[in-house]
Amino acid sequence: MTIRGLSFKQNNGFDISMDNQLLLERIGRIVMTYKSERVNNPEFGSLLENFLFNRRQLLAQHVENSLKNTIEMYEPRVSVTSSNITYDEIEHAANVYIEVVRKDTREALTFEESIEI
């Protein structure tokens, strides 16, 4: 089954994305959108920003469970198999690594993002 949808490319405007590329873009939007940021959908998104700036007071497992629950709620076509957040104190960045499996094809996909903090 082919999945198609609109995606936004920084320099090219809107484009059509398909299958794995579309799912990874969707996961990125879910993870990188702050809860209450979306008009008329205040529950959409994650609390990753809060977690990153309060990282010393929070358990990594809590952050990873929150991301897993949020992704699986808003992108039901995937299951999160693992997630990991590492901190680079020198670069002042958090590296987010999330592995998912497509439910229809059982194909493994990886989302990676580095966020300046």
| pLDDT reported for residue 85 | 84
| pLDDT reported for residue 2 | 72
The single-letter code of the amino acid at 17 is S
Say whether 76 sits in a helix, a strand or coil: coil
Write down the pTM of the prediction.
Answer: 0.67
Say whether 77 sits in a helix, a strand or coil: coil
Distance CA 44, CA 33 (A): 8
- How many domains does the chain contain in total? 1
The single-letter code of the amino acid at 16 is I
CATH number of the CATH domain containing 25: 3.10.450.40
Mean pLDDT for each consecutive 10-residue tract of the chain (117 residues)? 68 73 84 86 83 62 85 94 86 88 95 85
Q: pLDDT tens, 40-70? A: 888 898 877 777 666 555 566 777 888 899 9
91: domain range? 4-116
| pLDDT reported for residue 77 | 93
| pLDDT reported for residue 66 | 86
Distance CA 59, CA 107 (A): 30
What percent of the chain is helix, strand and coil (3-state, nearest 5)? 30, 40, 30
Distance CA 45, CA 33 (A): 5
| pLDDT reported for residue 10 | 62
What is the Cα 94 distance to its own chain's centre?
A: 13
Through-space distance between the first and last CA atoms of the chain, rounded to whole angstroms: 39
